[in-house]
Amino acid sequence: MPRRESCSSIWRGWGMSEWTTIAELADTNPGSLPANTDRGFRFRYIDLGSVDDGAIDWQRVQYISYKDAPSRARRVCITGDALFGTVRPNLQSHGYVPGGHIDPLVASTGFTVIRAHEDVADGRYIFFSLLSENILRQSVNAAVGSNYPAVTDRDVRQFRLFAPPVEQQSKIADVLASLDTQIQKTEALIAKLEKVKEGLLQDLLTRGIDENGQLRPSPEQAPELYKDSPLGLIPISWEIRNLDQIADVVDPQPDHRTPPAVEDGVPYVGIGDFDSEGAIDTASCRKVSFSAYEKQKSSFSVTPGDIIYGKIGTLGRPKKLPNGTYALSANVVLIQPSSYKALLFYALNSSRTEKQILDITNTTSQPALGIEKVRKLLFPIPELGEAEEISIRLEKLSDCIQREASRLISLNLIKQGLMDDLLTGRVRVTPLLDQAQATTPA
């Protein structure tokens, strides 16, 4: 068929001629299950819920037979296909089918299946382009509907993208896929470290560390080392204390009135205003007047390492406060430890504290914590030396997780920058790779 002649002709020179439509590079929805499909035919079904932000969650792609499949299970997929989620395209529920799948794959009609013409396009390159700001902007502009804005298959075919020769597309896809691999490995490592931390937190805050620097044997192994308490078994040398015995608990907005928002003011910080690195996201914070900040400052002062704790709406989820100029939301309490500062932060994150919160809030119709309830929360407290050792071990692991989280942010920023450059032709991939090769030691 002559369909590729117009596509090849646009590559005779550089510049805007390299911008073309998806229809010039690929077939869309090239295969569908016919109505007479054997009712016992089994396949893996990719629905919209199994794809999120450019990734197919293959654990959610279930096996199903044709007779039990929803009517939307019709689009046949093969290795190398890109899937464009047509419903709410701003969510970018797009995916890519990599190699290694033996079983038949069928996608929902909520996707447009895009199959690259191999001589002019790389399927991976098309997939990365679907996640670009360029395609996002076009899809949002083309979407129709208020509750469920959607684009049509025809819209998708007409989306325009930068399309250098296929050899360059493949190199660009290699670069971005390599970054994706690093991102996925870092995400997996963070998830693993979080699991380790969860287990360590449970052990250290229930068993502690003995005089030899080892985790104390469990109550099952050495019941003589433990005693009963309102929180269950704790080491014999530990004590149970109320929060207000080891910290000042302050209501930052005792009148419970949220100050009016202003356009250019002081950040008004709540639990949801922290980024993944634990810093206050001042750009997205609600802003209040400087006089509202001064009013709080006249009642209390914040020291770095003080803690806020959600009391209305979002309950718990303690956050450490940094240096800076900001006011505190009426939806939090301020906890200022007089001792055991590091340990208390982790104890506030523990399952024992979460259980106390659940016991309190289960008796109310709306989840909320009065400040007196917060002050009377119970905590198991070791002797000072043991508490410091527990804190050191938890801090080391937390620092490790934080370093990986920072690396993940950096990798995502690098990927976004490369996508902006390479998928628009702003930077050519060949000189970029030549430069990298020239600077790599032999």
The per-residue DSSP string of 196-263 comes to HHHHHHHHHTTT-B-TTSSBPPPTTT-GGGEE--TTS-EETT-EEEEHHHHEEEE-S-TT--PPPEEE
Cβ atoms of 84 and 136 closer than 8 Å: no
Counting every residue, how long is the chain? 442
Q: Which CATH superfamily is domain 239-381 in?
A: DNA methylase specificity domains (3.90.220.20)
Which residue matches tokens 């050519």? 428
Mean per-residue pLDDT of the chain: 89
pLDDT tens readout for residues 214-238:
999 999 999 999 999 999 999 999 9
The predicted structure's pLDDT at residue 11: 41
pLDDT tens readout for residues 41-79:
999 999 999 998 889 999 999 999 999 999 999 999 999
The CATH number of the structural domain formed by 2-163 is 3.90.220.20
The predicted structure's pLDDT at residue 364: 56
- 145-166 exposure pattern, b = at least 16 Cβ within 10 A, e = fewer: eeeebbbebebbbebebbbbeb
Instruction: Indicate if the pLDDT at residue 283 is higher than 90.
Output: no
Instruction: Indicate if the pLDDT at residue 312 is higher than 90.
Output: no
Can you give the residue ranges of every domain in the chain? 2-163, 166-214+382-442, 239-381
Residue percentage of the chain with pLDDT more than 90? 75
SS3 281: coil
Same fold, 2-163 and 239-381: yes
Instruction: Indicate if the pLDDT at residue 151 is higher than 90.
Output: yes
Q: Which CATH superfamily is domain 166-214+382-442 in?
A: Bipartite methylase S protein (1.10.287.1120)
The pLDDT of 281-303, averaged and rounded, is 90
SS3 311: coil
The predicted structure's pLDDT at residue 1: 41
